[in-house]
Amino acid sequence: MKFIPNASLKTDILHKMNCTSIDKLFSDIPKEILIKKLQFENGRSQQDTEQKLQRIAAKNSTGYPFTSFLGGGIKQHYIPAVVTSILRRAEFFTAYTPYQSEASQGFLQAMFEYQSMIADLMQMDVANCSLYDGATALGEAALMCTRIKRKQEFLVPTNISWEKQSILKNYTKGANITLTEIPYNQETGMIDADAYFEKMHDSVSGLYIENPNYFGIFEEQIKKIVTTAHDHGVLVVMGIHPLALGIMKSPGELGADIAIGEGRCLGNAIDFGGSSLGLFACKQQFLRQIPGRIIGATTDKKGKQAYCMTMQTREQHIRRGKATSNICTNEGLCALAATVYLSWLGGNGLQKLSETNFQRGQDLTRIITEIDGFSQRFTGTHFNECVMQTTHEVQALNKELLSQRIQGGLVLNPFYPDLRQSLLFGVTELHSVEDIQRLASVLKEAFHV
């Protein structure tokens, strides 16, 4: 079909529609609401457009000239060149995950390997080939508990991120699920286990607990909470930090029924907060209730190994009433990055990386608390994030840090009103002890400590 030039084609189409002009084609639109002219500039050449975009882009600052200590979310991690190299191959490089009829054997195998790695990492029986992000994974887990137990109450701790709280509320609202919040201990920063025990009654389908939690603190009573939950017929959803699994027990070891996590740190860049990666795994007995898709290994009619979509119980493929989720696709490219990254890292590499992140967290706490006016807010053992309390005005503090090309901690008061003058700092393997000392030096100079 001819599109360029298309003047004659337009004329032919209008003639066949008995229209003398484009205006006649839209004559059914009331004149009072017609827009005479869009408020657009006149067209530019490609060269002019590129130059204008370059001028606009020059006003921005990338994250790399800055040293970021921002906690509470996505942080910069080292991404080896092999991840980018494989990810950008033409066979894989697409933002869209293909369906069965379009999926190549190579991509299906990559997703199969991803599932295998995540299941092994979590020490769970089965994992799907990813969800949108960690927050939507929590929403899907709450719905899954409700389907399995046919009960409408779900317990959730308050020491999780406000984004997860918001998304979870949106997920459960239409399903008429009651969310019961469990407070955290003001001294340790860990969940109040006794409050969990008090709320475990007949209407509860499941509970959620994070390790480490939003404040970066390892929960010490998980095993007791899991045992008590199972005694009451309550399912346990456990959220984890993938890079902490090298030094702590996995969800499977701790007895979780469903394990979820945010996989952005597994070989995926920050990318302006763009696409992320939701990790999701569960016990074998709940396989039929898992959201999203599962890739399986089989053989073709010639006996050769092949891969196919084994389960995809979503609303596009079966009756809506029988679907486990409305997840339309999975983060295929991000899952591939995680697969390559974990292959490169290996088990010993994961342990060393976990130890490095943990040690950097301890270095941060030690160096910052040596400054007058700063103290550690909670007593619990933390991973690579830590809540610091200060006698200084936190907004002014962060503004001064930015002037020195340092991004300070996350101000917690807007999300946790009881945590006034508190900042959530975060570090990774990319931070050196010298970086942390520079942060401390700027803080001392700024406030003449």
Range of lowest pLDDT (117-126, 355-364, 399-408): 399-408
Domains in the chain: ranges and CATH: 67-76+347-446 (3.90.1150.10), 81-342 (3.40.640.10)
Range of lowest pLDDT (64-78, 90-104, 275-289, 385-399): 90-104
Q: Mean pLDDT for the chain?
A: 90
Q: What is the mean pLDDT of residues 414-429?
A: 95
Write down the pLDDT at residue 2: 47
Antiparallel, parallel or unpaired: β 153-157 and 204-211: parallel
Kind and range of the H or E element at 308?
strand 305-311
Residue 401 confidence (pLDDT) above 90? yes
pLDDT digits (tens, 9 = 90+) for 233-243: 999 999 999 99
Residue 446 confidence (pLDDT) above 80? no
Write down the pLDDT at residue 66: 84
Residue 342 confidence (pLDDT) above 60? yes
Is the link from the previous residue into 5 a cis peptide, with omega within 30 of 0? yes
Write down the pLDDT at residue 103: 74
Q: For 174-286, where are the alpha helices, taking DSSP H only? A: 193-199, 222-231, 251-254
| Range from 84-98, 201-215, 298-312 that averages highest in pLDDT | 201-215
Antiparallel, parallel or unpaired: β 178-182 and 153-157: parallel
- Range 20-26 contact pairs with CB under 8 angstroms and sequence separation of 24 or more: none
Residue 76 confidence (pLDDT) above 70? yes
Range of lowest pLDDT (5-9, 121-125, 131-135, 329-333): 5-9
54: number of Cβ within 10 Å: 9
Q: What percent of the chain has pLDDT over 90?
A: 69
Look at 97 and 252; give whichever has higher pLDDT.
252
Q: What is the mean pLDDT of residues 37-64?
A: 85
Range of lowest pLDDT (80-84, 317-321, 361-365): 317-321
10 Å CB burial of residue 388 (0-12, 13-18, 19+) is buried
Q: Which residue has the tokens 């209407």?
A: 203
Write down the pLDDT at residue 234: 97
Contact 130, 145 (CB under 8 A): no
Nearest to 267 by CA among 85, 38, 40: 85
25: number of Cβ within 10 Å: 14
Using CA atoms, how far apart are residues 146 and 152, in angstroms rounded to an integer? 6
Residue 330 confidence (pLDDT) above 90? no
Q: Which residue has the tokens 């007058």?
A: 372
Write down the pLDDT at residue 9: 81
pTM, to two decimals: 0.86
Range of lowest pLDDT (29-38, 181-190, 200-209): 29-38
